[in-house]
Structure 1
Amino acid sequence: MYSALFDYLGKVRNERAILIGDFNIAHKEVDLARPKQNKNNIMFTPEERKEIDRLIELGFVDTFRQFHQESGNYTWLLYFPHARERGLGWRIDYAFVSRKIKPKLTSASIFSEVRGSDHCPIGVEFEESF
């Protein structure tokens, strides 16, 4: 599905590499509010989820999950009435880093209080130099 991207990532996986963006895929059940109701729906199909698995198998690290294993942390919140307050969302925005810079990673965050889009900003922090 993403052959050009994976070809490139295969070449840089042993370098200092960061891949960040809106992937439109919830990787695990913990990454969305209602996994059972959304099983096999777009953004949560087995085929899509395998693409994130492939990225991890290449040696890239999901920065947010390095620090936060719990559910309820979403980057895309539905615009239905009170959906944000009810925690109806998906984590579909990611920051991945190569193994080479993983030891320099100090935090990863979702800024869920920031409004203005259906997506929440994400951030990662590293040691001062690498």
Structure 2
Amino acid sequence: MKFISWNVNGIRACLTKGFLDYFNEVDADFFCIQETKCQDGQVQLELDGYHQFWNYAQKKGYSGTAIFTKHQPNHVKYGVGDEEEEQEGRIITLEYNDFYLVNVYTPNSQRDLARLPYRLNWEEKLANYLISLNQQKPVVYCGDLNVAHEEIDLKNAKANMGNSGFTVEEREKMSRLLSSGFVDSFRYLNPTKTDSYTWWSYMNKVRERNIGWRIDYYIVSEQLKDQIEEVDIHSNIYGSDHCPILLKLDLNNRKLNNN
């Protein structure tokens, strides 16, 4: 099974920058996007063979997530039940017989860390939700998680210590989740690989010089780790300040749905 995750930083803009070319070429079973920045009815995608699930933010031009999949889920859930969080359209969960797929766009703590308390509370609720799902069946958790977990996950770690996305508190939240029965699929296969990033600032020549951060992830339940076949960062794909990431799982022995 092939999974793709991509923060498109506005699906309407990304559609003018080759989104559909990449979508058709990669031919994923599950294609998750974040930061759609659109409202219901503003984008009509004709994706043959795919079911579409959108979670729109109430605020126009803000946040939002979507999943396009070849496999009809048994159940779809938007958010985790928190009214404030659901207004921002940040979480979609698809349930299949033997696993959950959770697509997430984590709130940014903002440059002055004004939203850090909100972010940490949000992370706590999400972690509890993921752990509860994992107690029922394995989880594939993906998205723009807005944190570089370790120093190896960004170019200039020392200069960014304490900045949004690299605070001690945000990194600890990731560590706690991973210690609760989850695996960072990229690091599982590439424990020491450097210069592998998924986001770059729009500042001049930053992406060309690969001064970036790895803040987009596929995190899976520990019981799925031996079924990870491939993880890749498609840094050659433009159209956003993020690039797509790929996960291949051997799910041949797992049923997707009741059909």
For structure 2, the 5+ residue unaligned runs are 1-119, 255-259
The one-letter code sitting in structure 2 at the alignment partner of 1:37 is: A
Deviations 1:56-105 (A, max 9, x none): 01111000111222110000012122111211100001110001211111
> Counterparts of 2:187 and 2:124 in 1: how far apart (Å)?
25
1:60 aligns with 2:182: yes
In the other structure, the counterpart of 1:96 is 219
Q: Residue 148 of structure 2 aligns with which residue?
A: 26
Name the counterpart of 1:43: 165
Aligned to 2:250: 127
SS in 1 for 2:174: helix
Query: Could you state the TM-score of these two structures normalised by the residue count of structure 2?
Result: 0.49
For residue 231 of structure 2, what is the aligned residue in structure 1?
108
Query: 1:10, 1:50 → 2: CA distance?
Result: 16
What SS does structure 1 have at the residue aligned with 2:242? coil
Amino acid corresponding to residue 40 of structure 1 in structure 2: G
RMSD: 1.2
SS at match of 2:165: coil
The SS at the match of 1:119 is: coil
C-alpha distance in structure 2 between counterparts of 1:60 and 1:13, whole Å = 9
Report if aligned partners of 1:114, 1:120 keep a CA contact under 8 Å in 2.
yes
Considering Cα pairs closer than 8 Å and 6+ residues apart, tell me whether 1 or 2 has the greater RCO: 1
Deviations along 1:18-61, one digit per CA (max 9) or x if unpaired, are 10000110000000000010011111000000011011011110
**AA at the equivalent of 2:167:** T
Corresponding position: 1:73 with 2:230: no
Tell me if structure 2 keeps the 8 A contact 1:13–1:58: no
Gaps of 5+ in 1: none
Separation in 1 of the partners of 2:251 and 2:224?
A: 12
Distance 2:161 2:249 in 1: 35
Secondary structure of residue in 1 paired with 2:223: coil
Q: Conserved in 2, the CA contact under 8 Å of 1:21 and 1:94?
A: yes
Overall identity of the aligned pairs, in %: 40
Deviation at 1:128, TM superposition (A): 4.7
Q: Is the 8 A contact 1:32 1:72 kept in 2?
A: yes
Match of 2:125 in 1: 4
Q: Which is greater in Rg?
A: 2
1:47 & 1:54 partners in 2: Cα distance? 11
TM-score (norm 1): 0.94
Instruction: Give the aligned length.
Output: 130
